[in-house]
Amino acid sequence: MTSQAVHATPDHRTVVFKTVNNADVTVVFPEPVENPEYAARAVISGLARSISARDEEAARERALEEGLEDSFPASDPVAASVTAVLPKGHTGNN
């Protein structure tokens, strides 16, 4: 996803990467870290995994929604009713 870090600050808190499409990605830590480039790559990788998982979940939700729509109205509950014809002269109270 990213190329080499192009800048890391001497205080070990900020790392700037240049991406393959020439965008800048900056990672800033609240406190200095021992290996800022490695830590920043871990942050970026975790973010990419999170975005990918969210996209996969959204795709599953869309597929489920489409499946439910395709099954309509079969997914509606069955309406149960009883129809009876009483012989002439009977009220059904006998």
Instruction: Tell me the per-residue pLDDT of 3-29, one tens digit each, with 9 for 90 and over.
Output: 566 778 888 889 988 888 888 888 999
Q: Which helix (H) or strand (E) holds 19?
A: strand 14-19
Q: Which helix (H) or strand (E) holds 48?
A: helix 36-71
How many domains are contained in the chain?
A: 1
Largest CA distance in the chain: 102
pLDDT tens digits along 41-66: 898 889 889 999 999 999 999 988 88
d(CA 32, CA 15): 11
Q: Is residue 23 part of a domain?
A: yes
Q: Is residue 92 part of a domain?
A: no
Q: Is residue 91 part of a domain?
A: no
Residue 38 sits in which domain range? 4-70
Q: Is residue 36 part of a domain?
A: yes
Q: Is residue 46 part of a domain?
A: yes
> What is this structure's pTM?
0.57
Q: Is residue 85 part of a domain?
A: no
